[in-house]
Amino acid sequence: MTLSMTGFGKSEVTLDHFNIKIEIRSLNSKFLDLSLKLPNIFKELDLPIRKLIKEKVIRGKVELMIHYEKINQSNTISLNKEKIISYHNELKEITDDLKYNSDKDLIGYALTLPEIIQHSKEILNDDSKSLVLSAVEKACKDLKKFRMNEGSALEKELTGYLNSILDNLMKVKKFEKERLPKVKEKLKRAIDELNLKNQIDEKRLEQELIYYSEKIDITEEKVRLKEHCLHFKKSINEINSGKKLGFITQEIGREINTLGSKANNISIQKIVVNMKDELEKIKEQVLNVL
């Protein structure tokens, strides 16, 4: 099963006074590069969330965000009655001492002084924490489902590129046999141009042709290239095969390059160029495989 590293997941959960939305998205990365954006009330869940994502997501540039809305705010704000009374009494005492007559309401002044409004501290109990972590796990499952869909499309693309390389490899055979006669013709032409015909016999010419036939032989390269492509196809269905596929891609590249350097034929060179073009597409897409 091929999984893409690109994905998106979300979930929601409602607690006593909160409606919580969780979003998680991922892009490709060699390792797990995790970024959490948590409101202060969820900060103590930082480590448990990181551990959970490491187990479920495994690899990628991952960003998780938690948003929340207060459902009932009536109990979150209250007035500090003791402070109001204390301020009022002190203000009244001062006005009496100063014999200051004012029709202004002392309560109104008191309400503008510090520490009058109290905000109740928002905390999560153990049950709420468990529900939030469950919601994070649900978002990770949603992300995995997205990754599976992307991975399925990715697998089809990669398989298509590999098939193209194998098809091109089959075309090479058509031009292999014509290479040695051309080398022989080139050697004879060089001998004639240099007036060396009397100095080089047929046996020496045959030795030179044997040397060149070994030098331009591409049988091993073709066999290894085919094996690497088949190995890639088999490995693509393994779990978390992204790094392995990257290594196999490097081996495919080496064989294609060697094939090109030993081609000694313009038609084979053109085929090699087509293979390299498909290989570059594979390299680009393999980076997205988990």
**Interval 83-104: pLDDT, tens:** 778 877 887 787 777 777 665 6
Average of per-residue pLDDT across 16-34: 91
pLDDT bin (cut points 50, 70, 90) of residue 149 is very high
Spatial distance between the Cα atoms of 180 and 265, rounded to a whole number of angstroms: 10
Place of tokens 């030098």: 215
Neighbours of 202 (CB within 10 A): 7
Spatial distance between the Cα atoms of 251 and 238, rounded to a whole number of angstroms: 19
**Interval 228-287: pLDDT, tens:** 999 999 999 888 899 999 999 999 999 999 998 888 788 888 999 999 999 999 999 999
Neighbours of 156 (CB within 10 A): 11
**CATH topology for 7-73+124-147?**
Ribosomal Protein S5; domain 2 (3.30.230)
One DSSP character per residue, 172-218 reads HHHHHTTHHHHHHHHHHHHHHHTT-TTT--HHHHHHHHHHHHHHT--
- What are the φ/ψ torsions at residue 196 (nearest 5 degrees)? -105, 15
72 has a pLDDT exceeding 70: no
Give ranges for CATH 3.30.230.10 in the chain.
7-73+124-147
Residue 173's pLDDT is what? 84
Contact 65, 39 (CB under 8 A): no
pLDDT bin (cut points 50, 70, 90) of residue 123 is confident
